[in-house]
Amino acid sequence: MNPYTIGIISSIAVYLLIGNFMGRRVKSIDDYYVAGRNASTLLIVGTLVASFLSTAAFLGETGFIYEGHAGVLFIMIVFNLFGYVTGALFFGRYIRRSQAITVAEYFGKRFATHRVQSAAGVTIIVGLAAYLLAVTQGASLAISEAMDIPYDVTLFIVWLGYTWFTAYSGSKGVVVTDTIMFLLFTVVAFLAVYSIIAAAGGWFYSIEELATFETKPGILAWHGVIGPESRWQNIPDAITWGFILGIAWGVTVAVSPWQSSRYLMAKDEHTVVRAACVATAVTMLFYCALIMAAVSINLIEPNIQPTEKAMIWAAMNVLPTFAGVLLMSGIIAAALSSASTFLSLIAFSATNDLIELKTTSEGRRLAISRYAMLVVGIVILVLAYLQPPAILAISYFAATLFASSWGPVAFMSVWSKRITANGAFWGIVVGFSANFSAKLLELYEIILLPVFLHPIVIGIV
């Protein structure tokens, strides 16, 4: 048994033990859905960042940077991190005030109709199921590489771990493990950048070499690598894509269910705003470290395929063994924390937003919620076996669905006196459907959309 296997098994064991401990403390629906509405600033920061930085960051975006698109990603990050503070100030603190137990329930209360709540609930189930699929595949891929066992086997192990944990402990367990994992992978990210750059020859040498790197010319340029074999043929396309995705991600961070639902757990509105400010700073520092680490891997090995394995390769071939074990554990931690958040939100919406169980006893509602998680988990497992891994593409597709379906309605629900229940319902339905349909048509090459007419733009307009 290699050190990476021991480290991963140990981290998963700790994860399950915490889930078991926190599950025993669940006494009510509030405990299970919103962690008793008593989470501190540290816990809210931890769960905000951990649910945002999943395998999409450690694998998908790292591969994107490794390919030569650090500049485009940085443009995105600058825009999307504004979503934390904007979301907290103009949306998050108001949903905390509503005392809802899901964000979709907030919409139902605001517009005094279950129809809007149900529409929001359906978007949560479909959108987060796709995101959960990507996270599950990312964690399984990382464990398969580290432990040298078949991907199909690790897929089942990952699924079983987060499904059992989340079904038993609910939000009380999720918020605690998110915070522990956030601390782990944040420290590991800075440890990784130090080790990788040291192995590449040091800070100054690495920057000098990358500035004239012939294998991927323009890898440090503000627009990244451009050309026939790149993702983009010209600079305007690359920058347009970065701006559109950046703004869309900013809206997503502000109002998406896996981010804004964290505010429902905060002990007060001051905690909401403080946590958002801290999360912005921490995430920006994290991405600075991730960008430098990923781009510098090229100086050691410029031909890693698929590129999504770049950070896994560095953990197992560049970092000292102990640091590599921590990095692999951090990647798995990021995946499991996001997976537990997404699974809990899907099940909560299924049992609270699509069907009304308010006349049912709390014990019965808890049992139904746990069974719903198991059913959802099984569906995700089957889809993960059928769908080849495409971590970054699926993550971006699923996450930005909420920019077009929830963005305008969420902010207008607080700041507009003119928006009606019908307007909110059709805003959610049309925004989601237009984005989803355009992306499917583009995916199957039925239509070819220009960069400026991204499915997100179609959904919002």
pLDDT at position 362, please? 64
Burial grade of 126 (CB within 10 A; 0-12, 13-18, 19 or more): middle
Residue 414 host element (H or E):
helix 407-415
Neighbours of 443 (CB within 10 A): 12
Helix spans in 203-234 (H): 203-211
Q: Which of 46-55, 386-395, 423-432 has the lowest mean pLDDT?
A: 386-395
What is the rounded end-to-end Cα distance, in angstroms, of the chain?
54
pLDDT confidence tier of residue 65, bands split at 50, 70 and 90: very high
Does the pLDDT value for residue 454 go beyond 90?
A: no
Does the pLDDT value for residue 80 go beyond 80?
A: yes
Round the average pLDDT of the chain to a whole number and report it.
87
pLDDT at position 323, please? 86
pLDDT at position 391, please? 58
Q: Crossing angle of helices 114-147/391-405, nearest 10°?
A: 160
Q: Tell me the per-residue pLDDT of 33-55, one tens digit each, with 9 for 90 and over.
A: 888 899 999 999 999 998 888 77
Q: Tell me the per-residue pLDDT of 180-212, one tens digit each, with 9 for 90 and over.
A: 888 888 888 888 899 999 999 999 999 999 998
pTM above 0.75, yes or no: yes
Q: Tell me the per-residue pLDDT of 278-324, one tens digit each, with 9 for 90 and over.
A: 999 999 999 999 999 999 999 999 999 889 889 989 998 999 888 88
Does the pLDDT value for residue 461 go beyond 70?
A: no
Domains present along the chain, CATH in parentheses: 3-226+256-391 (1.20.1730.10)
d(CA 141, CA 288): 25
